[in-house]
Each structure stands twice: as structure tokens, then as C-alpha cells.
Amino acid sequence: MFDVVALGELLIDFTPAGTSESGNILFERNPGGAPANVLAAVTKLGGTGALIGKVGCDPFGFFLRDVLDKHGIDGCGLRFSHDVPTTLAFVQLNEHGDRSFSFYRKPGADTTLAPEDLDFGLIDSAKVFHFGSLSMTDEPARSATRTALEYAREKGKIITYDPNWRPALWMNDEQAKENMLFGLQYADVLKVSEEELAFLTGKDDVDAGSRQFLECGVKIVVVTLGPKGCYYRCAKGSGSLSTYDTKVTDTTGAGDCFFGAMICQLSRYEGALAAILPEELAKMADFANAAGALCATKKGALSAIPTEEEVRRCMSGTPLLKPA
């Protein structure tokens, strides 16, 4: 059994790594992809996870397969394309550590995941099924995602969803919104940024927007607010939490780490999600805030995810132990 099985992109993030002697910008190869980042947070924090996805039959794909093994993520659902290369993303960081992306994905192997590639046994073995919207930008991955969602719902799995809006990967905003809203129909737990909330609901107010998501059938909504922390809502109430004061180096993957930590906590919850109390949800969101804040202190995504001990130390205000 797995705590979480995720479907979606596994790719290479090339992140800035200084300059060469001749002054050219250097990029470092790092594993990435939001669903994989979420799973890495789950396993780093003591849970179990498996990925359903596709990479190229190339050195990048083989590297990513080994990364899954290194992070304790089961890769038996990973498929290899002999025709399409592994997706690449080049990350740019501003002076505050905030990132933007340039994608090389026309197509990328992750978009070629087909319904016949799906391992339904993995979904059977999961408590939580997690997905994002980027596996719905193109066929056949869109059909594979929808097929997996139907199956997960039929099997009564908790379904967690991160729309993870990347405008450059959609034909236009209309296509993006249509598919992102489709995914919303299946979500028990939703994580959005302020920008995504406004895009999907037409509301800038997090209270009104999150309430609209609950009216669509979502049981738990968490809105990440960057340096301001997060907002959470369930049927019995809502609230907001400040984040932890850490030195931001690179925000790549911080939101995924936040949601992975949240999902890890939810996978251990024994009650019905529809009846969760705000104070219970607040404890989970506080833990996720600390995890996301610590992730942003290091470069990369998967490689920057903290341990549970590090998260607990951050929450308690205890300085992190430095290696000898």
C-alpha cells in the first residue's frame, strides 16, 4: 500500500548555477515536475509514494528514474518513450529568489503518457491519488489523466489537486481554464495560489474564492500566499497562518513541498475529510508552511525538501543543526 500515488510530469529543471570563467551563465541539472516534487516531500517526511508518468528513453530519463529510487519513490508506473525526449525546463530567478520557467516540451515525453500506459494496480494500492493540470495540456496525456481520475473516484480514493497554472504550456487561457476546471470536479483537496484562485473563480478575495471552490464539491481548500503564509478553508470554518521567517534562495518547488507536507499529514488523518475541524486543518497547514519555507532556503526542488525533524525544529524556533 502507498500513502500517495501521483500522476504527471517528471522533468529536468535547469537552474542557474553561477557563471563560467568567460562570464557565461551556468545551469545545473536538477530533477523536477510538480507531482514528483510532491511525492518527494511525502517520502522525505515519512510517507510512501509512487509515480505514474513518462520520460524519454535518454540520459535525462534514466537520471530521473534513478532520482525516484534515491528518494524512495516507487517507479514501477514510470514509462519510457523511444520517440519523444524528456521534458526540459530552464529556471530564471530574480533578486528575491522567485522563479519563472522556459519549457522545452513541444512535445515532451510526459505529454505522451497514454491510457494504456496506466498501472491501475498502483491506484488501487493508494490512499491518496494526486494530480495536476499540466498532464492535461496535450493528448494523449489528457485522456490518461481523465481515465485515471475516473478510476480513482470509482475506487473511493482521496483525490488531491494542484492546478499549477503555467500559461506558456497551454494554447490559450480559455483552454487552460476549461481543463483546470475539469480537474476541479474530482478534487477532494485543492491547493491554489492567489493567482490561480483569481483565474479560476474570477475573485481576488481568498475568502469568497475559496468558498466558491467548496460549493463545487471540494472538501478542503488551501491557498498559498507566498511570504504571507497560507489561507485554509473546510466546511466547518477557515483561517490564515503566517509562514516562517527563512532566508529565501530559490522558491522552485516550495509550493509543491508545502502541498506534499499537507498531503502527508492528510494521509494519516483517520476521520472524514468533509468533517475535518478548522483547528485540525490549521495544524497541518502550519507544518506545511514550515516545510515550504525551508525548501525555499536551498536551490532546486526535490533536493531542497527538508526532513520531518528539520520541519519540527523550524516550527519550534530551534536552530537547525549544521553538519560537522
pLDDT digits (tens, 9 = 90+) for 125-150: 999 999 999 999 999 999 999 999 99
Q: How far apart are CA 303 and CA 297, in angstroms?
A: 11
Cα→Cα distances 178→131, 149, 199, Å: 16, 16, 11
* Cell numbers given for 204: 481576488
CA distance 213 to 323: 44
Per residue in 67-87, pLDDT (tens digit) is 999 999 999 999 999 999 999
pLDDT computed for residue 323 by the predictor: 39
CATH architecture of 2-9+33-84+106-316: 3-Layer(aba) Sandwich (3.40)
Residue 195: its pLDDT value, please? 96
Task: Give the closest residue to 169 by CA, choosing from 106, 84, 253, 81.
Answer: 106
CA 261/CA 74 separation, integer angstroms: 18
- Vertex 172, ends 51 and 223: CA angle to 5°? 55
Residue 150, CA distances (Å) to 155, 185, 265, 316 in order: 9, 11, 24, 41
Q: Which helix (H) or strand (E) holds 79?
A: strand 73-81
Residue 38 and residue 76: Cα distance in Å, rounded?
17
Query: Smallest Cα–Cα separation from 261: which of 50, 5, 43, 7?
Result: 43
| CB distance 320 to 310 below 8 Å | yes
- The CA distance from 20 to 143, in Å, is 44
The rounded radius of gyration (Å) of the Cα atoms in the chain is 18
- In angstroms, the CA 254 to CA 248 distance is 10
The ranges assigned to domains in the chain are 2-9+33-84+106-316
The Cα–Cα gap between 137 and 150 comes to: 18
Segments of the chain with pLDDT less than 70: 93-100, 300-301, 319-324
Q: What is the distance between the alpha carbons of residues 9 and 86, in angstroms, rounded to a whole number?
A: 10
